[in-house]
Amino acid sequence: MSTATTNAPQKRSFTAAASVYVNERTSIAGFVKELGRKAFPDHWSFLLGEVALFAFVVVLISGTFLTFFFQASMAEVHYNGSYVPLKGVEMSVAMASTLDISFDIRGGLFVRQMHHWAALLFVAAIGLHMLRIFFTGAFRKPRELNWVIGFVLFILAMAEGFTGYSLPDDLLSGNGLAIINGMIKGFPLVGTWMSFLLFGGEFPGTDIVGRLYTLHILLLPALVVAFVALHLVFVVVHKHTQYAGPGKTPGNAVGPPILPVYAAKAGGFFFIVFGVLALIASLFTINPIWNYGPYDPSPVSAGTQPDWYIGFADGALRLIPPGWEFVWLDRTWSFNILVPIIAIGVFIVLALMYPFIEAWVKGDKREHHIADRPRNAPTRTAIGAAGVTFYAGLWAAASSDLLATHFSLTMEGVIHALQAVVILGPFVAYFITKRVCIALQKKDREIVLHGFESGRIVKLPGGEFIEVHEPLDEYERWRLVSFETYEPLMLRPNSRGKITFGQRLRAGMSRWFFEDRIAPVTKGELEAGHGEHH
Amino acid sequence: MAQDDHSGTEIAAADSSHAAPAASPGTALIAQDAFENPGFPPHRPRVTDEDPKREKRAQRTVYTLFYLSIVGSVWAIAAYMLFPMESNNVGDVRLNNLFIGLGATLALLGIGFGAVHWAKSLMYDVELVDERHPIGGSPETQAAAVKVFQDADRESGFSRRAVIRNSLIGALLVFPLPAVVLFRGLAPQDQNPIELLSHTMWKKGTRLALDPSGAPIKASDVTMGSAFHVIPEGLQDLEHGKLDEKAKAAVLLMRLDPKDLNELPERKDWSYDGIVAYSKICTHVGCPVALYEQHTHHLLCPCHQSQFDVSNHCEVIFGPAKRPLPQLPIAVDDEGYLIAQSDFTEPVGPSFWERH
């Protein structure tokens, strides 16, 4: 038999040969075909999550380097390294090895500072990313679970930060642990024993650094990596949200393909984040433990501050008025510790649950892939502003002493002012934000109906001056009119003729959300508007 | 326009027809008279698409950035060798940090800006369109998944054999408990935290000593208005648990004009000639209350700003703390040194549940 299909060996490039080799052993072609040319919507605000991811990669890389030199032991030694002022001082091995990383290992200080700066950026970028998600409604169906995963990551990142901050066993971090010890002891029933178990006996003991080290480099990073992976899988499954724009519909995703443009931009952006962190680490000192000295339970300096992301918790402790502690049933109830913890806990749970609350109020079961402009969801945006104000008040309280000394105020005055900010501020922020959003929506309507100010002043025959308004083109107009509003829920009896409490609550919430609303301009309105002379 | 989920197609025409979603819109207002999506605006070419000179320049910029990155890497390696820091001199550490860091910065930013510039100015400027599908998949897929579970349930008898199922659930709930119990080993077995928290190193006759030197303090050395950081004598010689003991036993010693002291009747003999000793550990969450304001006789905790009034047996006058700082009863021994009359009469430091 002579068939023509003899497959003469063709000249193949190395890339093609390598691809075939790999694919025939991994079946990766399907994966590449699936993902390689996916459209990835593009916007500057989408970079915040990338900053968080890339900062985390930098944390992993720099942290791995540090583990080769850091020794998580609290055994006492007399320091004998290069930093002269501390020579001979008794300190833990952890502190001494951190000093060695800083003063005896070339480039060690650089990596240590990059690790710390990257950790600060990691938490900050997560926070900003969450604000972006919240204010654009990108947590709506189908992304509610990814919001929860992201929230868990935020908390894990703070835990990573705190455990890492505590490792060098310097004066500041030891004081931070003293505060944690005091807070844990304030828990009813279990507090005393939890502290006893955590510290392996009495505070400070000789175990805590080793235990935090296990959490910091093993357990917590494993969780963070797992949740980041899950978070990204969901981004692929859901496809990214996009802002409203001409051609963009709830049913499509528009953007440059992953290969090559998105990959090049994101890959390049990773190096930019890495590079900026390297620049900061080479120019700005962070956590100079050699100035603080080793941990000692007796001294402390004024104006001490935790890392920024712990500030809100520390501030919450400061804002409690005197006397919130009672002995009842022969037991001590430390409400001066419990109230801040409960308040922060409630705040976190409300933020975590917000997507589900909003979905329940709206009853909207559709998928949402177009990100809202914040002004087009005034109540949500106002709630977010209230939350930000609450957090900011707590956060500022962590610096109450510095605020007092820098601005020559009384300590008591600053605390009382911040108590007002935390309790009344959210209401003020809510009201102002909602009004501003509605005003901006009205301005959008005005522009759609009457065009934008062209800057061209015309004198009419009667001597009157007018500024000519130019109508928007259809693409610009689409950005301003393509949003949806919701109306308050009408209360109707159910099939058994009853109005349940749940329905009443939902109707009340719905009224609160949507009573004041501005609808987008419709075609009819625009046509009617054209009839007017202006 | 032809659309393929896996490989987007270039934008060619408007797509304003989107199948109406089947899911309930809830209370959303669906406007009857809404504007229609105008479709994609015409593509605007970049300068590098139109002007070959600009394209050349962009290309030059990109490869220059990549070469600069190599320079940065080499610089960082050179800096590692050229800026030693073994001289016990902090300035050398700073230089080493700065130059290694700047080299690494250039290496990283060169790659970063080069790649982004390449993508933005030279790679094809196309936007693709992917169609979205319901996240839940098709009804057939969902039905098939439900069937898998139903089959599994039927074949295993998970629902039917309730006794087996419930006993398994019970076993699964209980089996992690031993692992939890093992963690009791985190703290010593033979110690009781409540007992430990209730006592410090101070006992009858322990001399008050300076922190950190450990030198005992004579009453005559404590001048009017002065304040001393105090530890029990012998603390520095402890083999183990020095910090643990110090964390409870740290004391502040102050001398006030006896006229200014408003002492409780039962504590009249706890001070000596205006000299008073109070625990330094804050009753809020346990920071050292280290700041003494001499003219007001106020103590301030720098962590959360609790203030204690020394002239009024250290009661709280501001801040989140509730209880006064515990007072250490003191006296003077035959040689004129300050000594403790006893241990503190209450647990020091932050509150805890069993405290009463």
Cα within 13 Å of Cα(B129), Cβ side: 21
Q: At what angle do helices A425-450 and A474-481 cross, to 10 degrees?
A: 150
Instruction: Report phi then psi at A92, rounded to 5.
Output: -80, 160
What is the b/e burial string over A346-369, where b = at least 16 CB atoms within 10 angstroms of the residue's CB? ebeeebbebbeebbbbbebebbbb
pLDDT in tens, B189-222: 999 999 999 999 999 999 999 988 999 999 999 9
- B31 falls in which pLDDT band (50, 70, 90)? confident
Cβ atoms of A186 and B285 within 8 Å: the answer is yes
Q: Is the pLDDT of residue B18 over 70?
A: no
Query: Given the structure tokens 């833990």, which residue do they identify?
Result: A92
Q: How far apart are CA A181 and CA B161, in angstroms?
A: 49
Compute chain B's Rg from CA coordinates: 38
Residues 6+ apart with CB under 8 A from A310: A158, A161, A162, A165, A176, A398
Q: What part of B 222-281 touches A (C-beta under 8 Å)?
A: 229, 231, 241, 243-244, 246-248, 250, 280-281
Q: Would strands B327-328 and B275-279 be described as parallel, antiparallel, or unpaired? A: antiparallel
Q: Which pLDDT score is estimated for B12?
A: 41
DSSP A261-304: IIHHHHHHHHHHHHHHHHHHHHH-----HHHH-B--SS---TT-
Query: What contacts 24+ positions apart, CB below 8 Å, involve B51-56?
Result: B55/B121, B55/B122
pLDDT classification of B30: cutoffs 50, 70, 90: confident
In the structure encoding, which two tokens stand for residue A15, read together?
């890339």
The terminus-to-terminus CA distance of chain B in angstroms comes to: 78
CA neighbor of B51 nearest in space, from B144, B122, B136: B122
pLDDT, position A531:
54
Examine the pLDDT at B254 and tell me if it is beyond 90.
Answer: yes
% residues pLDDT > 90 (chain A)? 86
What b/e sequence results for B251-265 when a residue is b if at least 16 CB atoms lie within 10 Å of its CB, and e otherwise?
bbbbbbeeeebebee
Structure tokens at B128: 């693709």
| B325-344 pLDDT tens trace | 999 999 999 999 999 999 99
β-bridge mates for residue B279, sequence order: B251
Alpha helices in A136-217 (DSSP H): 144-166, 171-185, 191-198, 208-214
Q: How far apart are CA B199 and CA B249, in angstroms?
A: 9
- Give Cβ neighbours of residue B213 (< 8 Å, ≥ 6 apart): none
**Out of A192, A250, A477, closest to residue B352 by CB:** A192
pLDDT of residue B5: 42
Exposure of B233 in the CB half-sphere (CA atoms within 13 A):
14
Q: Supply the pLDDT for residue B3.
A: 40
Is A197 within 8 Å of B183 when comparing Cβ atoms? yes
> What's the CA gap between B293 and B275, in Å, rounded?
16
pLDDT surpassing 50 at residue B8: no
Contact between B69 and B106 under an 8 Å Cβ cutoff? The reply is yes
Quick: pLDDT tens for A271-295: 999 999 999 999 999 999 999 999 9
Contact B131 A324 (CB under 8 A): no
Query: A287 — contact with chain B (CB < 8 Å)?
Result: no
pLDDT at residue A299 greater than cutoff 90: no
Cα A364 from Cα A360, distance rounded (Å): 8
Q: pLDDT by residue (tens digit) across A242-254?
A: 999 999 999 999 9
Q: Do residues A400 and A415 lie in contact, with contact meaning Cβ atoms separated by under 8 Å?
A: yes
Domains and CATH numbers, chain A: 45-299 (1.20.810.10), 452-531 (no CATH)
Q: Do B108 and A325 touch (CB under 8 A)?
A: no
Q: Which of A113, A186, A282 sits opposite B102 (nearest CB)?
A: A282
**Structure token pair of residue A3:** 């068939």
Count of C-beta atoms within a 10 Å radius of residue A94:
28
User: Tokens standing for B340?
Assistant: 């403790």
Nearest residue of chain B to residue A305 (CA atoms):
B303
Q: Would you call A475 exposed, middle or buried from its count of C-beta atoms within 10 A (0-12, 13-18, 19+)?
A: middle
Q: How confident is the model at residue A455 (pLDDT cuts 50, 70, 90)?
A: confident
pLDDT computed for residue B13 by the predictor: 39
Per-residue pLDDT tens digits for B283-342: 999 999 988 998 899 999 999 999 999 999 999 999 999 999 999 999 999 999 999 999
**Residue A475 is inside which H or E element, if any?**
helix A474-481
Mean of the pLDDT values across residues B147-176?
96
Give the gap in angstroms from C-alpha A248 to the nearest C-alpha of chain B. 7
At residue B210, the pLDDT reads: 94
B97 → closest Cβ in A110, A260, A369? A110
Residue B218, φ and ψ in degrees, nearest 5: -90, 145
Within an 8 Å CB–CB cutoff, is residue B201 touching chain A? no
Residue B169's pLDDT is: 97
Sort strands A242-243 and A370-371 into parallel, antiparallel or unpaired. Answer: parallel
Secondary structure (3-state) at B111: helix
pLDDT of res. A10: 61
